[in-house]
Amino acid sequence: MKKLVNGKIIDIKNMRLFELAAEGLVTQRHTMSKISDKIDDSIDISTLKKYLDKYDLFSKYLPYPLHAIERDIKYATFGNFIKQYVDSGTKIWVKDGLNIQLSDENGLVLKFVNNTWGIEVEKDIPDENIDMNLYKDQLGYTEYKWILDKILNKQSTSGYYKVFMNDFLVACEFNSKILKSELENILTLCKIPDKMAFKQNKIYDMNNNEEYSLDIYCNGQTEVEGEDRDRMVFTDSGFELSTSKKRIKTYAFDAYSKLLDDTTNIKCKLSKVKVIGLHNLFLELCAIKTTTESEVFSTFYGVIFGNNLVFTIDKRLFIAKSNRLMIEPIEIANGVELYSIDSNKVYFVKSHKLSKNVTKEIIYSYNLRDNSTRICSTTFK
């Protein structure tokens, strides 16, 4: 993925690792022992302390993003390092973190998750699964294997960025402060304007600093061609089959505006206006109501800037013209929220629920000049 780094455009090939790291930092998985739990007499305290020290030591060898990623391959790497310091016959395995067998008799297990530890009871000790070959297909295998080999051979891991992100390092001029800053913002690919506040069922006109609302009303009924309806009716001679056309309600609307920049401190009154582009919004609202057979119109919000009208209906994002009618507005995204407007670009955000507590948000920009869409940033909340 292309990114501007310290004024230079470079290609970052391992961006997905940084996404996983950001997700891991937000998730903050952990384990712990209850305060009421006492350390079993069968546990050798010096052995326990040794495992804790080795885990902490190895953590310091891992550069960002590797130390923040919450995946099995990370814990397998930890396990291979600690394996040198355990007694023969002691099992180590990966399952929701790193597990080390402490006792044969009562199934006590030392469990590491992220930067926390706890003591648990495992009735059935599984087979070891920390062989790095088991993780060859996992993202980050090459990086973790490189780190492990360096450490086992008592070599420095300081060359990680030079080996795996040399172009990034060069762009940062080998300056540690610049490197740290760029790594912290690596998932932000371009400048993003401030988030705008939008009101439900309102269109904000940036050109005139006005706010538009629609008063939609039923103005009659019409027959639908090809939609014949059969029904039994009672006549003087008995029940007979009657055929009639299906009739549906028709709608019209009035648009009203309110000036937002009121320096006179006088309460603004609504005034009726004619903004041609609002017909594009109205027709789309009618089309969606008809298609979904809803009893009510969907909620909407949007903005006018230049000759463009951008609006969302039920998390569907549309682009239309504000100064002329269109056969059909252009739908550019679904399942999104309008984020902001800047010059000739429309910014919108798509959210993905990863778990009960973690949401991934991706901000995109849509360029009105060439109709291109690109990712601007990825965040985890």
The beta strand positions in 30-82, using DSSP E, are: none
pLDDT of amino acid 37: 47
Closest of 32, 231, 43, 58 to residue 147, by C-alpha: 58
Q: Residue 162 CB: number of other CB atoms within 10 A?
A: 12
More confident residue, 247 or 244: 247
**Region 267-273: what's the mean pLDDT?**
75
Strand bridging mode 359-367 / 372-380:
antiparallel
Q: How many residues does the chain have?
A: 381
User: Can you tell me whether residue 39 is helix, strand or coil?
Assistant: coil
CA dist list (Å): 42 to 45, 51, 86, 99, 107:
9, 16, 16, 17, 11
Alpha-carbon span 283 to 320, nearest angstrom: 11
Beta-bridged to residue 98, according to DSSP, are 94, 112
pLDDT confidence tier of residue 35, bands split at 50, 70 and 90: very low
- What are the structure tokens assigned to 120, written together? 């648990």
More confident residue, 335 or 37: 335
Instruction: Find the distance separating the first CA and the last CA of the chain, reported in whole Å.
Output: 23
Alpha-carbon span 109 to 97, nearest angstrom: 12
Q: Is the pLDDT of residue 283 over 70?
A: yes
pLDDT confidence tier of residue 182, bands split at 50, 70 and 90: very high
What is the DSSP annotation of 354-370?
-SSS-EEEEEEEEETTT
Alpha-carbon span 245 to 248, nearest angstrom: 10
Q: Is the pLDDT of residue 268 over 80?
A: no
- What are the structure tokens assigned to 182, written together? 């760029």
Strand bridging mode 238-259 / 210-235:
antiparallel
Q: Is the pLDDT of residue 342 over 70?
A: yes
**Region 148-166: what's the mean pLDDT?**
94
pLDDT tens, position by position, 57-75? 999 999 999 999 999 999 9
pTM for the whole thing? 0.81
**Region 124-146: what's the mean pLDDT?**
95
Mean confidence (pLDDT) of the chain: 88
Q: Residue 337 CB: number of other CB atoms within 10 A?
A: 16
Share of the chain above pLDDT 70, in %: 88
Q: Is the pLDDT of residue 131 over 80?
A: yes
Among the ranges given (103-107, 236-240, 268-272), the one the predictor scored with the smallest mean pLDDT: 236-240
pLDDT confidence tier of residue 36, bands split at 50, 70 and 90: very low
> What is the DSSP code (8-state) at residue 285?
H
- What are the structure tokens assigned to 313, written together? 């209906």
pLDDT confidence tier of residue 234, bands split at 50, 70 and 90: low
pLDDT tens, position by position, 287-330? 999 888 888 999 999 999 999 999 999 999 999 999 998 888 99
Q: Is the pLDDT of residue 200 over 60?
A: yes
pLDDT of amino acid 267: 55
Q: Domain ranges for the chain, please list them.
A: 2-184, 202-223+252-380
pLDDT of amino acid 245: 58
Q: Residue 375 CB: number of other CB atoms within 10 A?
A: 15
pLDDT of amino acid 247: 67
**Region 10-28: what's the mean pLDDT?**
91
pLDDT of amino acid 237: 58
More confident residue, 29 or 46: 46
